Amino acid sequence: MEEMFGIPPRSLSESDTRDTLEQWSSLMDVQLVSMIRGEFGIEPDSELIEAETVGDLLHILQSRGAFGS
């Protein structure tokens, strides 16, 4: 995600939101959905789309097996 946002590695925090990341725009939402579908084979749904923080997004992806066991 940091690469997509164009920020240094390990600079994202689980508490980061659209309000704290200037780069997190509606266009970035589309890119994130595309990346999730392409990288993890997970079809984004309302739960993913409505995630408010980086941590929320990561926890949802983890619960759906995106990062292996």
What is the percentage of the chain residues whose pLDDT exceeds 70? 99
Mean pLDDT taken over the chain = 92
Cα torsion 28, 62, 41, 68 to 10°: value is: 130
Distances (CA, A) of 19 to 37, 39, 52, 62: 24, 26, 10, 23
Confidence bin at 19 (pLDDT 50/70/90): very high
User: What are the structural domain ranges in the chain?
Assistant: 18-69
Q: How many CA atoms lie within 13 A of 48 on its CB side?
A: 19
Name the token pair of 50. 């409505």
Express each pLDDT in 27-60 by its tens digit.
999 999 999 999 999 998 999 989 999 999 999 9
